[in-house]
């Protein structure tokens, strides 16, 4: 029987501002609460220790124990008082290198159920991601010099950013920010999608194939949800791409989210996320319960179950 510590960056902070961080906290709580509910069902998991701010709501389940942060107690204080042999599952965003620094710090204190340091260093940066994929000849959305897009509309993204955070579509000449902190890409009009996969030592298992629901407003592009199972017709192509990624980066571990776009009859990688993403919360209604069992079983036993995953129906899931 196994004990797991669940530590999500935003919900474990000692101090935060509810007004400015309400949307972020809502999404973070949704992901962690889904993990808690699903992991608690697994017979191989004895206890889930959740580190959470004392002001936030909680899911009350017998197997779940909460340890609370406050203005006087940080998550570091809590971890220092726990058995360092208990493995920690970390969830943190790419924003401003948070996941890279968060995991680097915690890796020194505990065994973490996350990808290797090298994978975090690579996939935290959109520049390093593109260079690494290009080196392995894995199809990816290209980065360009801003000058190439003179008088043309482009996509502008922060080098270190999570999901669709602060992504703009505008003319290059209108951009007044620091060019070194951003990347510039052609806007691909094809279908945008994503998939979740389980990874371990170069082996992968695609769990779901989704179509992204995108909103473009005031020159901002934002993913507001996804059609769970919306890309199941492309599963074989996506599984091939997933294995190419995993074979090239054997340090990928556990749940990995990959954003993709369709261009010229093939899929291009937009970015790779070393963490649970919001689409995890939509799995339960679109896919069979066995899909969730495969995930929790992996974190309990580190074995990727090859049982068939049954797709039930397309579900619109909004974040």
Q: Are residues 90 and 30 in the same domain?
A: yes
In a domain, 314, yes or no: yes
Q: Which pLDDT band holds residue 178 (cuts at 50, 70, 90)? A: confident
Statement: residue 25 has pLDDT above 90: no
Q: Are residues 203 and 310 in the same domain?
A: yes
In a domain, 120, yes or no: no
Statement: residue 21 has pLDDT above 80: no
**Mean pLDDT, range 22-48, rounded to an integer:** 91
* Distance of alpha carbon 103 from alpha carbon 97, whole angstroms: 10
Helix or strand holding residue 181 (H, E): none
Contact 214/243 with Cβ under 8 angstroms? no
In a domain, 197, yes or no: yes
Q: Are residues 162 and 193 in the same domain?
A: no
Q: Are residues 160 and 109 in the same domain?
A: no
Burial of 57 (0-12, 13-18, 19+ CB in 10 A): exposed
In a domain, 119, yes or no: no
Q: What is the CATH number of the domain that holds 213?
A: 3.30.470.20
How many structural domains are present in the chain? 3
pLDDT score of 83: 81
The parent domain of residue 179 ranges over 146-185
**Lowest-confidence region among 54-63, 130-139, 153-162, 300-309:** 153-162
Q: Which pLDDT band holds residue 235 (cuts at 50, 70, 90)? A: very high
Q: Are residues 91 and 6 in the same domain?
A: yes
Q: Are residues 206 and 150 in the same domain?
A: no
Q: Are residues 246 and 157 in the same domain?
A: no
**Lowest-confidence region among 60-74, 158-172, 281-295:** 158-172
Q: Are residues 197 and 178 in the same domain?
A: no
Dihedral of CA atoms 310, 92, 300, 110 in degrees, nearest 10, equals 170
Statement: residue 19 has pLDDT above 60: no
Q: Are residues 166 and 210 in the same domain?
A: no
* Distance of alpha carbon 164 from alpha carbon 27, whole angstroms: 14
pLDDT tens for each residue of 107-141: 888 889 999 999 999 999 999 999 999 999 999 99
In a domain, 105, yes or no: yes
Tell me which of 195 and 105 has the higher pLDDT: 195
pLDDT score of 54: 93
Strands (E), the chain: 2-8, 45-53, 64-69, 87-91, 153-158, 168-171, 182-185, 192-200, 203-217, 220-228, 254-263, 266-273, 315-318
Q: Are residues 281 and 134 in the same domain?
A: yes
Q: Are residues 94 and 44 in the same domain?
A: yes
In a domain, 101, yes or no: yes
Q: Are residues 212 and 270 in the same domain?
A: yes
In a domain, 254, yes or no: yes
In a domain, 193, yes or no: yes
Q: What is the pTM of this model?
A: 0.92
Q: What is the CATH number of the domain that holds 53?
A: 3.40.50.11770
pLDDT tens for each residue of 258-267: 999 999 899 9
């Amino acid at each position: 029987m196994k004990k797991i510590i669940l530590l999500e960056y935003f919900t474990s902070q000692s101090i935060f501002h509810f007004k400015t961080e309400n949307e972020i906290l809502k999404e973070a709580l949704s992901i962690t609460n889904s993990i808690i509910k699903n992991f608690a069902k697994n017979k191989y998991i004895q206890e889930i220790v959740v580190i959470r701010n004392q002001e936030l709501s909680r899911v009350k389940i017998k197997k779940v124990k909460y340890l609370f942060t406050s203005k006087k107690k940080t998550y570091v204080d809590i971890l220092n008082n726990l058995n360092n042999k208990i493995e920690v599952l970390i969830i943190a965003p790419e924003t401003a290198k948070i996941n890279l620094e968060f995991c680097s710090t915690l890796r020194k204190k505990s065994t973490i159920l996350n990808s290797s340091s090298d994978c975090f260093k690579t996939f935290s940066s959109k520049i390093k991601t593109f260079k690494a994929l290009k080196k392995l000849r894995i199809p990816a959305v290209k980065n360009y010099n801003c000058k190439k897009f003179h008088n043309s509309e482009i996509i502008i993204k922060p080098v270190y950013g999570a999901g669709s955070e602060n992504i703009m579509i505008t003319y290059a000449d209108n951009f007044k920010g620091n060019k070194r902190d951003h990347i510039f890409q052609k806007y691909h009009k094809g279908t945008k999608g994503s998939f979740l996969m389980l990874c371990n030592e170069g082996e992968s298992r695609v769990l779901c194939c989704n179509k992204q629901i995108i909103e473009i407003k005031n020159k901002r592009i934002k993913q507001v949800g996804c059609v769970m199972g919306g890309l199941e017709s492309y599963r074989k192509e996506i599984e091939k791409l997933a294995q190419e990624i995993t074979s090239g980066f054997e340090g990928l571990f556990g749940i990995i989210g990959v954003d993709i776009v369709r261009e010229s009859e093939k899929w291009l990688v937009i970015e790779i996320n070393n963490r649970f993403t919001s689409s995890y919360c939509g799995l339960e209604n679109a896919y069979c319960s066995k899909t969730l069992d495969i995930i929790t079983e992996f974190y309990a036993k580190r074995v990727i179950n090859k049982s068939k995953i049954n797709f039930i129906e397309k579900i619109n899931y909004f974040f």
